[in-house]
Amino acid sequence: MQSSAVRATPQWLRGLLSEEFFDACAVHPAERKNDKNHLCADCAAALCRHCLPHDPSHNVLQIWKYASCFVVRVDDLKLFDCTGIQSHTVSDHEVVFLNERTARKRSACAENPCAACARPLSSGHDYCSLFCKVKHLGESERGLRCALRVNRKAAAAAGEPQNGKRPRAASSEAGPSCGGSSGKRSRKQLAPARSPFC
**pLDDT tens digits for 35-45?**
999 999 999 99
Counting every residue written for the chain, the total comes to: 198
Gap between the Cα atoms of 24 and 43, Å rounded: 19
Contacts of residue 161, defined as CB under 8 A and 6 or more positions apart, other chains included, come to 167
**Considering only 10-14, 110-114, 115-119, 156-160, which range has the smallest mean pLDDT?**
156-160
The domain limits of the chain are: 8-153
Q: Does residue 84 register a pLDDT over 90? A: yes
Phi and psi, residue 12, nearest 5°: -65, -35
**Beta partners for 113?**
120
- Specify the pTM: 0.72
How far is it between the farthest Cα atoms of the chain?
A: 82
Gap between the Cα atoms of 137 and 198, Å rounded: 64
The closest alpha carbon to 152, from 75, 58, 82, 63, belongs to: 58
Q: What is the DSSP letter of 171?
A: G
- Residue 122 host element (H or E): none
The closest alpha carbon to 62, from 50, 51, 47, belongs to: 47
Confidence of residue 1 (pLDDT cuts 50, 70, 90): low
What does the pLDDT read at residue 108? 57
